[in-house]
Amino acid sequence: MIFKNLKYGLLAMATLAMVVSCDSDDNGMMDDDMMMDDDMMMDDDTMSMDPDFSGTYVQVDFMGRPGINTVLSSSDVKDMHNQAIPAEMGAIFQPVFQNQLEAYHDAYAVALGLTAEDVDFEPNILGDILNGPENDGFTENPVTAEVLTTVLATDVLEVAPDAATTYFNPGAGAPTYEGGIGLTGRTPQDDVIDVSLILLFGGGNGARFNGENGLPQLVTDGVPLTATISSTFPYLSNPE
């Protein structure tokens, strides 16, 4: 009797196993279909999460040379310059930048009790670098206010494939700046603001308005470069 019950029990278990196996196959097929549907749903969801680039976009900033637009323009001109394209910048903004640069010098003349001619823009240290050497001095091959603002009005960084990349390297330094290189690109180590101030207010030796002899300090912002440059991304140290 025990064996008979065991026999029927085993038969029932075998039958159940076959049923479960069939159900499992069927369920497996359903699961595959469901998984396929899920994948399709995921794809649809992924597609729906892609960025939407439709609409109208407006350029709001343009900064190849930091600080130039801020120093040499008013608020309304600044916005116009930021929204312009490089091909348009020179013709439109050079006169504006030159007028502003000369107005700064006039204001300093008044503050110092001098005439505008006494504190007019003085050709700067980029003379031979931009124009090629002529005689022995930068003031003999000058970068005038017009030349300088023509260069700076087009807010892009030039690339010199045959020269070192630098915003400005004074070479031997004042007064001859032998071996100097300027505006051939920009590296993280370049103090762009100080260089820009020197070009605007430093005159022929780069130190015209250096805070000495009763003159204002206009050739530096007084902020030293302390960033640590790494050879791995993101290359710069954390902001201080």
How much is the pLDDT for 23? 47
The whole-angstrom distance between residue 93's C-alpha and the CA centroid of its chain comes to 21
Assess whether pLDDT exceeds 60 at residue 158.
Answer: yes
The domain containing residue 147 runs over which residues?
Answer: 68-205
90 in the same domain as 27? no
Q: Is the N-terminal amide bond of 175 cis, ω within 30° of 0?
A: yes
198 and 102 in a common domain: yes
pLDDT digits (tens, 9 = 90+) for 99-111: 999 999 999 898 8
Confidence at 7, pLDDT banded by 50, 70, 90: very low
Question: Are 16 and 103 members of one domain?
Answer: no
Whether the pTM exceeds 0.85: the reply is no
End-to-end CA distance of the chain: 90
209 Cβ partners below 8 Å, 6+ apart?
108, 201, 202, 203, 215, 216, 217, 218, 219
Residues contacting residue 187 through CB under 8 Å, at least 6 positions apart:
165, 166, 167
Residue 229 maps to a domain: no
> How many domains are contained in the chain?
2
Are 36 and 73 part of one and the same domain? no
Same domain (yes/no): 77, 196? yes
- pLDDT score recorded for residue 48: 55
- Alpha-carbon gap, residue 32 to 186, rounded angstroms: 57
pLDDT, position 36: 43
pLDDT in tens, 199-231: 999 888 888 899 998 888 999 999 888 778 888
The overall average pLDDT reported for the chain is: 77
Q: Are 92 and 161 found together in one domain?
A: yes
Is residue 199 one of the residues assigned to a domain? yes
Confidence of residue 80 (pLDDT cuts 50, 70, 90): very high
Looking at the structure, tell me whether residues 10 and 122 fall in a common domain. Answer: no
